[in-house]
Amino acid sequence: MTESRSVRLTSESHCDDFPVLSGTIGPDVIDLRTLPQKTGLFSFDPGLGGTATCTSSITYIDGDKGILLHRGYPIEELALNASFTETAYLLLYGELPTTDEYQVFRTNMNTHRLLNEQIRNFFNGFRRDAHPMAILCGTVGALSAFYHDGLDISQPATRDLSARRLIAKVPTIAAWAYKYSIGEPFIYPDEEMSFSENFLHMLFARPGNHYRVNPVLARAMDRILLLHADHEQNASTTTVRLVGSTGANPYACISAGIAALWGPAHGGANEAALNMLQSIGSREGIPAFLEKVKDRNSGVRLMGFGHRVYKNFDPRAKILQATCHEVIEELGLERDPLLDLAMELEKVATEDDYFVSRKLYPNVDFYSGLILKALGIPTSMFTVLFAVARTVGWVSQWKEMIEDPSARINRPRQLYIGQPERKFVPMSERG
Ligand code: ACO
């Protein structure tokens, strides 16, 4: 971070200079940390769209150009050449692993997949029809009640242990949440399998059957996970950092991130996109549905389209578009009516002036929902899968924040628009 120049803010009563800070790439920021002391004023930025809340060297996004870099590497190169586990190492430690580093990391991570056997008992406390995100959120938070040796966040080795544990155990909890919902026995993790093979195995194997993981489908799953691993200071990552800024333990922080991800405007979008397709029903329903979307008063949005940051094509969506077609072909699903409807909707919407003029393109959720459906994953599990992937980003960002000496507890201010001070009126005098 360098200070290159300053900007002057002037008003009738103030004239103050504020430093302008430059990162490695991307727009400069005005350092407003001394704004209240110098001026008695606060900045007003609901939604934080114009505010950098931290420094970070993990992920860089240029939404206008459709660029996404992890530790400097373009997402396209990672998606085509690296595995999810390799990308996890990169995000956590800043560099791609050597062969030896990778083997050690992979072996260590695989041993952390298993859950303390008592954690099984949690699942019985949930209704069978509980949303798996509810189970995930609760169980991940409860890990802090089991892994006490991961709670001392002042120690780098302990932070690393918790980070690895979370990345390795969240898929097991996720798969068991699914198995619980369908009344099947839990499948224990297999340390020999890759991250994605093991995950698919825990989801779909049953005692007595010889479930073989299809390599094309395992690659598609790995790609979905890789593409969702981190995405800069989005709502759930900001939540993780905010909760972490209080010194809360990492399991509580990631549980909070899962809660934030659950919302339909964030991680729930691929589930919402699939539900939307189901409600449109068929190709014939597209024109009427798009009319509703364009009507401001309807409150209906085209789910899986648009992004707060990407005002050009989301680079992750491009990769998943190709993967989606690969999976559909491998499984011979070209004639699946829902996938057919999705492809038609994509075509019609990307040629429609309403979406083109507002720079609304299909986002990663549009295609990930379709791939997950093709893989046989129920819609209620979509956001859960997103959480499995994003755990890597959350723990990397949490570690970075804890290790940043300038990090402080997050405590924003407000513009108060309520009643000014007034005198209490006893109930008997209120009429
Ligand atoms: N369908 C229809 N119109 C839309 C959509 C959409 N999906 N998204 C934005 N618009 C319109 C808005 O109505 C607005 O129109 P106006 O200028 O006529 O008022 C214009 O486009 C700009 O919209 P904003 O709300 O300012 O866009 P914002 O950047 O705040 O929204 C968001 C981003 C929340 C992702 C939005 O595009 C949306 O709701 N998309 C659908 C949900 C979705 O797919 N979310 C996943 C995001 S990706 C992720 O979390 C990994």
- At 2, the pLDDT band (50, 70, 90 cuts) reads confident
Whole-model pTM? 0.89
Residue of higher predicted confidence among 329 and 89: 89
- Dmax (CA) of the chain: 79
Among candidate residues 222, 230, 314, 365, the one labeled active-site is: 365
> Average pLDDT of the chain?
93
pLDDT at position 89 is 98
Asked if residue 183 has pLDDT above 80, the reply is yes
3-state SS assignment for residue 135: helix
Beta bridge pairs of residue 6:
19
pLDDT at position 343 is 84
Pocket test for ligand 1, best of 297, 301, 311, 356 (most atoms within 8 A of CB): 301
| Closest approach atom of ligand 1 to CA 308 | 29
Q: Who lines ligand 1 at CB under 6 A?
A: 265-266, 269, 293, 301-308, 358, 360, 363-365
| Closest approach atom of ligand 1 to CA 234 | 50
Residues 150-188, buried b or exposed e (16+ Cβ, 10 A)? beebeeeeebebbbbbbbbbbbbbbbbbbbbbeeeebbb
Pocket test for ligand 1, best of 261, 350, 358 (most atoms within 8 A of CB): 358
Would residue 365 show up in a list of annotated catalytic residues for this protein? yes
Domains annotated for the chain, with CATH where assigned, are 74-398 (1.10.580.10)
How many CB atoms are located within 10 Å of the residue 2 CB? 10
- The 8-class DSSP code of residue 144 comes to G
Would residue 404 show up in a list of annotated catalytic residues for this protein? no
- Determine which residue's CA is closest to atom 24 belonging to ligand 1: 308
| CA 63 / ligand 1 centre spacing (Å) | 14
Angle at 327 between CA 223 and CA 105, to 5 degrees: 25
Among candidate residues 14, 307, 340, 404, the one labeled active-site is: 307
For 388, the token pair is 């499995």
| Closest approach atom of ligand 1 to CA 235 | 50
Report CA dihedral (261, 264, 268, 274) to the nearest 10 degrees.
-170
How many CB atoms are located within 10 Å of the residue 359 CB? 14
**Tokens 């890990």 sit at which residue?**
143
| CA 384 / ligand 1 centre spacing (Å) | 22
Rounded mean pLDDT of 380-390? 94
Cα–Cα dist 366/373, whole Å: 11
Helices (H) and strands (E) in the chain, counts: 18, 6
268, 132 Cβ separation under 8 angstroms? no
Cα–Cα dist 94/255, whole Å: 24
pLDDT at position 340 is 83
**Tokens 């499948």 sit at which residue?**
187
Dihedral class, residue 332 (left if φ above 0, else alpha if ψ from -120 to 50, else beta) = left
Asked if residue 333 has pLDDT above 90, the reply is no
- At 180, the pLDDT band (50, 70, 90 cuts) reads very high
pLDDT digits (tens, 9 = 90+) for 68-124: 999 999 999 999 999 999 999 999 999 999 999 999 999 999 999 999 999 999 999
